[in-house]
Structure 1
Amino acid sequence: MGSYPKSERRARRAAPSSPTAARRRSAGEGSIYQALDGRWRGAIAWTEPDGRRLRRVVAGRTAAEARGKLDELRARLRTGTLEPAGTGNLGDYLSGWVERERQRLRPSTWRQREQYTRCYLVPALGRRALVQLTPADVERMTAGLIASGRSPQTASHARVILRRALADAQRDGLIARNVAALARPPRVTGRTIEPGRDYLTAAQLRILLSAAAVHPVGPLVTVAATTGLRQGELLGLSWDDLDAAASTLTVRRALALAWGGGMELAEPKTGRSRRTVHLPALASAALERQRDLQATAREAAGTAWQDRDRLIFTDAVGRPLYRTAVHRTFHELLTVAGLPSIPFHGLRHSAATALLTAGVPLRVVSDLLGHSGITITSDYYAHVEHSLRRDAADAMDRALGG
């Protein structure tokens, strides 16, 4: 075989054999590093034939996972199948992202996320190129929402949703950084709950429970006010969840909005929401009354009775109770009792406030409510803690003879 001169061999090796070969990759063929969030990232950069310098980023839980993803990018770069990341605008990306979210969220959560995306994020930022989005853009978006009359809480939540969307884009290597996470959040003043607006005092609760003893919605209200269960948890309770001998209720499901409309039994809100609650005597008596009321309703309905899940709280023919019906009858009871109008969820706040005021430890109340962490309980009921600090100081005076 013949041989080429050394200079010609160099030229043949340097000449591109295809358009793909015209791309010049950066020295080092990419890099692996650990980010501040603990995840490992791999980055690869190259220069397109037109001189554009492009970069792709991948992420993994381990260095090996990130290296594997980076090797895949290198292979696609060599074969010419690697496209520049983040092509298109934010609106296009959010449209696909919100549809993917549908697969892993409860209907009510997804609907809120879709509404915020459609009404706030896309109008403000949808035309911006995904890779050109900046923290300042996000801050202008939240400031614009507040200036248009939206609350700081709404603007803050819009930023949170965008942060989640861009975290997925960063995970997939479409962007190098999450600008929503870098953007400064709007200033949000913590909303304190107030008696008469958000919850009832212990004295008002006693009046309510007295009136509830003879009202059709009384058993539901009594159990809510004495256990602090969420409305969906109450409406999803089955007679199989009640242990009358032990005086306990076990929360296993919650009544929630279904994808096709209507209601369905779903998993509780959080992992800690699955819990067993010990019943006060008032709640046990209310449930026995509810059993009698339901038996009477079932007999009156005859073959029209529809309850297949043995739900504790149903309408006149055994169907699950809708929130609108509960809202209406609950406020009728408040009017009869001469009490201020509070939301049904206010019974949960009322129960927690009464327990904390009575000296029940914060951890116990947090477990009873099914909060995901004690910090949530502490933040919600800071008003009770302030008064308890004064009580603690008075108790010390009494103990020391002051």
Structure 2
Amino acid sequence: MGETRMMYSKATLRANKPPRKGYQGVLSYKDEGGVWREKRHVLKATTKTDAKLELARWREEMEEKAGTMGDPSLKGVGIAVADYVDGIVDELEASGQVEAATVRSYHGSARYIRFAFSEVKMGELTPEQVREWEQGMVADGYSSSTIIKTHNLLKQAMKRAVERDVIPKNPLNTVRPPKRKKKNPGINALDGNARARILGLLGQMEATRITVAAQIALYTGMREGEICGLKWSDLDLQNGQLWVRRSIALGEGGAYEKLPKTDRVRDVVYPQTLACILKEWRATQKEEFLGEGEPWTADEFVLGTPSAYLHPSVLSRSWATLARSFGVKGTAGRLPTFHDLRHTWATMFLAAGGDVKTAASNLGHAKASMTLDVYASCDPDAKRRAADIVERAMLPHGA
């Protein structure tokens, strides 16, 4: 194994102060006395994307140089685990090879690592410390999904540290994260009676962003983020068709616009019942905008206000309150979440004889097999109908 690799804790991109254009890179590290220091470098790139790539290359060069020339920057084994992980996340972000949503997720996971290992050095981290930390997260009520994501980020960072000769072996190789648990196992769709009751209750209420969103979900199977990202220009109310072009996603910095989950624009058809609901809601929204002195255009979000789109978490929480007031439960015996309305559309469509490929297209699944995996056995009457079909087929003709 070669010399210990140096590691800068953080690489930051900063725009030059006007009137000077361009960017400069800043590398942060602690000296031997534990005092934070910085190294600066004027970058040649003129665009932010190119500057991020140049910054990553400069950081790589400086760390290589530090590893062979005895730079006073903090050595890899002596850097705090949390600082090293932050540095790896910064590298991934600067590379441009990781989706923005994934980077946001990494930053969120890195906060848990900082809370636990801000004082633990890279050369001191042990499997026992990691196990104790993860067991503590379980005891504190963190979801298995959160713990697994954080575990995977830490393991990935330690793997890179081994590849760079920062540490001799990955302390997470012998640590298994907790098994993933489904908070609400099983599809909790609404059966025919529950669907009719909820649609009836929604129809009797004054139209709001939440009631309209629920009806869109029931009639189309769209995700909450996609519904929040829907604009009037995406709808053809005359022919009952819409295009899913964007979604409102949640990240560490809050909500933001992104492409749909499969990164593909898709079209969804819907019945005239929903078209009438949307036409009435459009008239209501126009009046609201006019009352606030704001112009209305077809580029407005269907569920938006003059100032913003509807936040997906607001939609989910508001629907939960409404569902409790309705008291209607799904096939799994629980109050339906907003996402369960999507499940309801899928189970209803397939149970009524709709083909799987059309269901997958409407739902935005990459493959029809995914739709089958999720919904093939969620219709409670499907097996009984299958038994009846077999019995009829077994009877002799004319019987």
Q: Are 1:235 and 2:228 counterparts?
A: yes
Q: 1:332, 1:184 → 2: CA distance?
A: 38
Structure-2 change in CA distance of 1:379 and 1:182 (3 Å)? farther
2:148 is aligned, of 133, 143, 156, to: 156
1:94 aligned partner, one-letter code: V
Q: Which shows bigger deviation, 377-386 or 221-230?
A: 377-386
Q: Is 2:76–2:167's contact at 8 Å kept on the other side of the alignment?
A: yes
Q: Is 2:85–2:110's contact at 8 Å kept on the other side of the alignment?
A: yes
Aligned to 1:4: none
1:296 is aligned, of 281, 284, 287, to: 287
1:207 aligned partner, one-letter code: R
Residues 147-186 of structure 1 correspond to what in structure 2 (within 5 A)? 147-167=139-159, 169=161, 174-175=166-167, 178-180=170-172, 183-186=175-178
Superposed displacement of residue 334, structure 1: 4.0
Q: Is 1:199–1:350's contact at 8 Å kept on the other side of the alignment?
A: yes
Aligned to 1:369: 363
Q: Which shows bigger deviation, 156-165 or 168-177?
A: 168-177
2:390 is aligned, of 374, 396, 399, to: 396
SS of the residue aligned with 1:271? coil
Aligned to 1:118: 111
Superposed displacement of residue 337, structure 1: 4.9
Q: 2:65, 2:289 → 1: CA distance?
A: 68
Spell out, residue by residue over 1:33-89, the C-alpha distance to the aligned partner (whole angstroms, 9 max, x if none): xxxxxxxxxxxx347xxxxxx589xxxxxxxxxxxxx99999887666698644423
Structure-2 change in CA distance of 1:355 and 1:164 (3 Å)? farther
Q: Are 1:206 and 2:200 counterparts?
A: no
Q: 2:314, 2:141 → 1: CA distance?
A: 31
Superposed displacement of residue 234, structure 1: 0.9
Q: Is 2:147–2:178's contact at 8 Å kept on the other side of the alignment?
A: yes
1:280 is aligned, of 251, 271, 284, to: 271
Residues 59-70 of structure 1 correspond to what in structure 2 (within 5 A)? none
Aligned to 1:225: 218
Q: Is 1:233–1:254's contact at 8 Å kept on the other side of the alignment?
A: yes
Aligned to 2:309: 320
Structure-2 change in CA distance of 1:55 and 1:227 (3 Å)? same
Superposed displacement of residue 192, structure 1: 4.7
Q: 2:111, 2:81 → 1: CA distance?
A: 12
1:236 aligned partner, one-letter code: G
Q: Is 1:107–1:257's contact at 8 Å kept on the other side of the alignment?
A: no
Q: Is 1:272–1:371's contact at 8 Å kept on the other side of the alignment?
A: no
What number of residue pairs does the alignment pair up? 332
Structure-2 change in CA distance of 1:260 and 1:188 (3 Å)? closer
Structure-2 change in CA distance of 1:180 and 1:243 (3 Å)? farther
Aligned to 1:339: 328
2:348 is aligned, of 346, 354, 360, to: 354
Which runs of no fewer than 5 residues in structure 1 stay unpaired? 1-44, 48-53, 57-69
Spell out, residue by residue over 1:283-327, the C-alpha distance to the aligned partner (whole angstroms, 9 max, x if none): 3332222223223334444x2347683222224x56423446545
Spell out, residue by residue over 1:212-268, the C-alpha distance to the aligned partner (whole angstroms, 9 max, x if none): 23431343221111212122211211122113354321111223458876x55x113
Q: Are 1:143 and 2:116 counterparts?
A: no
SS of the residue aligned with 1:91? helix
1:90 aligned partner, one-letter code: V
Q: Is 1:135–1:180's contact at 8 Å kept on the other side of the alignment?
A: yes
Spell out, residue by residue over 1:77-128, the C-alpha distance to the aligned partner (whole angstroms, 9 max, x if none): 7666698644423122134345566777888866664444334x34444444
Q: Report % sequence identity.
A: 25
2:301 aligned partner, one-letter code: L
Q: 1:185, 1:159 → 2: CA distance?
A: 7
Q: Is 2:5–2:67's contact at 8 Å kept on the other side of the alignment?
A: no
Q: Are 1:187 and 2:179 counterparts?
A: yes
Q: Are 1:310 and 2:310 counterparts?
A: no
Superposed displacement of residue 160, structure 1: 2.6
Q: 1:236, 1:379 → 2: CA distance?
A: 27
Root mean square deviation, CA, Å: 4.4
Q: 2:78, 2:106 → 1: CA distance?
A: 23
Q: 2:326, 2:67 → 1: CA distance?
A: 73
Structure-2 change in CA distance of 1:349 and 1:166 (3 Å)? farther
SS of the residue aligned with 2:83? helix
Q: Give the number of the structure whose alpha-carbon radius of gyration is greater.
A: 1
1:293 aligned partner, one-letter code: T
Residues 29-44 of structure 1 correspond to what in structure 2 (within 5 A)? none
TM-score, normalised on structure 1? 0.64
Q: Are 1:250 and 2:240 counterparts?
A: no
SS of the residue aligned with 1:276? strand
